[in-house]
Amino acid sequence: MTEKIQKTLRDSAGMRWMVLFFLAFAMFCSYIFMDILSPIKDLMQSTRGWDSTAFGTMQGSETFLNVFVFFLIFAGIILDKMGVRFTAVLSGAVMLVGATINWYAVTEMFQGSSLETWFNENLNYIPGFDELGISPFYLGMPASAKFAAIGFMIFGCGVEMAGITVSRGIVKWFKGHEMALAMGSEMALARLGVATCMIFSPVFAKMGGVIDVSRSVAFGVVLLMIALIMFIVYFFLDKKLDSQTGEAEEKDDPFKISDIGNILRSRGFWLVALLCVLYYSAIFPFQKYAVNMLQCNLTFTKLSPESFWAGNTVTVIQYVIMLIVAAAAFASNFSKGKTMKSVMQVVAVVALVIFCYMGYMRQSAETVFAVFPLLAVGITPILGNYVDHKGKAASMLVVGSLLLIACHLTFAFILPMFKGNAVGGIIVAYVTILVLGASFSLVPAALWPSVPKLVDAKIIGSAYALIFWIQNIGLWLFPLLIGKVLDQTNPQLVSDLKNGLISPEEAAMSYDYTVPLVMLACLGVAALILGFVLKIVDKKYGYRLEEPNITE
């Protein structure tokens, strides 16, 4: 008798990739919001009075509840107990609530309101947290930054919860299939989100010639509504899958809190978690300051408002070219024939060169930095595919860390030598940013798909949550530290600003970033050392990190 094989939704490649699209698109929207204020640090200073410390404190608040109230640990437990679809929708709703508060805080409506007065008079001292030096507020912090920080904290809970949920969702739908490629593609779309925000956030803020930073944030809020819809659609698909499989994974062997002990006893887990915090602390916090760092180091000529390059049409054209780079790189990864692959690669490279040229012609730091996530969009899926079929994840972590060190040192010491040399400076900036983008593809593409090799499937949600929690400590600390170090290593600038000798606009463009950049390079050195240790431990204990995910 022929046995009837029951096919489930995840056995269909089309269905799997459609599910991935919903999850990844939700992350795309979330990543746009995550960095929505990063390219307009100068405008936050000139229109809302946020100096570097206020900006850094507000940006760092994203991770505050996750780290100090252990929200991420709870999120992992919720995920392992309640499942992917419930947690996905919950995370979408939490992000939206936080983002809406954040938006209100930077609107004109908030200015002069009784809420502003309240925030000016309160939250200057948080017992316990202030003594430990970890308060998300301080005396003199602008009220709008304090309230925005509260919103960003709530958003941070949602976005990190979404991050672990999406990773677990991908493991659920793709294990045994193209898991690393799927994770790489999800991250690629997230990077496109960052590039989108680098380009469009300043456009929204400056629209119609009137500066209003809240328009940028409103744009992010609308996208988070779409993210929630994506998660709701995913909810129904995931429910259907569970009805087909009979929810075997959860029912047969339910998650227990004590399972977390198993994760914490794994040597491999700790090495990956520490490498993760060191590496990501040198990337994400940097991303929040990178545009300003370029503004301070590159020489831009002010374009007249009538100039073609200053207009919004060119922004849209540049964005379309960005999409062409992403689509061609992605298509080259999936093309079967050799000729088609090469054609796609040529299209991607040509479009990338045009993108860079336009960035230069537009004479703005945000359009130059937009190329950073773009390379990651193109190559993260390719590297994910490589991990699926060839392995070498631990080696990729080592190479990624090496590139990171080289880039931060170049920004610190070589880029400033080109101040005054507009073309030379832009070339150095582009090459360094592209190499950093390559590093930012290597490490994530190798790191996240390695986690299922280190822990049991039923505790994978908690394992991701613990890694995120450890990582979030760095993501909390370093934006704050960079802001403080910047103010402390630029004492003349800070005192001139205080005494009214320079305008906030001038100050925002004149910081010396050398010390913060060296600090980030040091993180890279520590990550590199851990990468080597991981390679040794992997060999000794047989985690199979260097082996492919798919055995052909």
Ligand X SMILES: C[C@H](N)C(=O)N[C@@H](CCCCN)C(=O)O
Q: Whole-number minimum distance, CB 31 to ligand X, in Å?
A: 7
Nearer to ligand X, 276 or 428 (CB): 276
Helix ranges (H only) for 362-421 are: 365-369, 371-389, 393-409
Question: What Å distances lie between residue 461 and 75, 90, 511, CA to CA?
Answer: 9, 15, 41
Q: Which of 46, 167, 201, 363 binds ligand X (CB under 6 A)?
A: 167
The set of residues, in sequence order, having a beta carbon less than 8 Å from that of 195 and lying 6+ positions away, is 322, 370, 371, 372, 373, 374, 377
Site string for ligand X, 497-516 (x = CB under 6 A): --------------------
Spell out where 436-528 has E strands. Answer: none
* Binding positions for ligand X, 331-370, rule CB under 6 A: none
Q: What angle (nearest 5°) sits at the alpha carbon of residue 364, between those of residues 327 and 435?
A: 50
- Rule CB under 6 A: say whether 471 interacts with ligand X: yes
Nearer to ligand X, 35 or 116 (CB): 35
Stretch that binds ligand X, among 182-190, 221-229, 236-244, 400-408 (CB under 6 A): 182-190
Q: Whole-number minimum distance, CB 272 to ligand X, in Å?
A: 12
- Rule CB under 6 A: say whether 394 interacts with ligand X: no
Q: Whole-number minimum distance, CB 467 to ligand X, in Å?
A: 8
User: Cα–Cα distance between 145 and 150 in angstroms, integer?
Assistant: 9
Q: Whole-number minimum distance, CB 212 to ligand X, in Å?
A: 28
Q: Which of 444, 483, 504, 516 binds ligand X (CB under 6 A)?
A: 444
User: Cα–Cα distance between 532 and 536 in angstroms, integer?
Assistant: 6
- Rule CB under 6 A: say whether 63 interacts with ligand X: no
Q: Whole-number minimum distance, CB 152 to ligand X, in Å?
A: 13
Q: Whole-number minimum distance, CB 228 to ligand X, in Å?
A: 17
Q: Whole-number minimum distance, CB 166 to ligand X, in Å?
A: 4
Q: Which is nearest to 303 in space by CA: 358, 260, 248?
A: 358
- Rule CB under 6 A: say whether 448 interacts with ligand X: yes
- Rule CB under 6 A: say whether 190 interacts with ligand X: yes
How many residues sit in the footprint of ligand X (CB under 6 A)? 12
Q: Whole-number minimum distance, CB 163 to ligand X, in Å?
A: 4
Nearer to ligand X, 391 or 474 (CB): 474
Cβ contact 151:34 at 8 Å = no
- Rule CB under 6 A: say whether 278 interacts with ligand X: no
Tokens of 322: 């960005």
Q: Whole-number minimum distance, CB 471 to ligand X, in Å?
A: 5
Helices 338-361 and 371-389, axial angle in degrees (round to 10): 160
- Rule CB under 6 A: say whether 19 interacts with ligand X: no
Q: Whole-number minimum distance, CB 216 to ligand X, in Å?
A: 20
Cβ contact 164:76 at 8 Å = yes
Nearer to ligand X, 38 or 471 (CB): 471
- Rule CB under 6 A: say whether 166 interacts with ligand X: yes
Cβ contact 244:6 at 8 Å = yes
User: Cα–Cα distance between 119 and 142 in angstroms, integer?
Assistant: 8
Tokens of 317: 């054209």
3-state secondary structure of 533: helix
Nearer to ligand X, 189 or 426 (CB): 189
Nearer to ligand X, 425 or 479 (CB): 479
* Binding positions for ligand X, 279-298, rule CB under 6 A: 280
Site string for ligand X, 146-165 (x = CB under 6 A): --------------x--x--
Q: Which of 80, 116, 186, 242 binds ligand X (CB under 6 A)?
A: 186
The set of residues, in sequence order, having a beta carbon less than 8 Å from that of 178 and lying 6+ positions away, is 384, 385, 388, 550
Nearer to ligand X, 425 or 452 (CB): 452
The DSSP H or E segment spanning 390 is none
How buried is 251 (Cβ within 10 angstroms: 0-12 exposed, 13-18 middle, 19+ buried)?
Answer: exposed
Q: What angle (nearest 5°) sits at the alpha carbon of residue 195, between those of residues 482 and 91?
A: 80
Q: Which of 37, 67, 145, 187 binds ligand X (CB under 6 A)?
A: 187
Q: Whole-number minimum distance, CB 442 to ligand X, in Å?
A: 11
Q: Whole-number minimum distance, CB 288 to ligand X, in Å?
A: 12
Q: Which is nearest to 377 in space by CA: 316, 326, 331?
A: 326
Nearer to ligand X, 67 or 371 (CB): 67
The set of residues, in sequence order, having a beta carbon less than 8 Å from that of 303 and lying 6+ positions away, is 309, 310, 362, 363
- Rule CB under 6 A: say whether 35 interacts with ligand X: no
Give the end-to-end CA distance of the chain in Å, rounded to a whole number: 30
Q: Which of 147, 330, 468, 469 binds ligand X (CB under 6 A)?
A: 468
Residues of this chain that bind ligand X (CB under 6 A): 160, 163, 166-167, 186-187, 190, 280, 444, 448, 468, 471
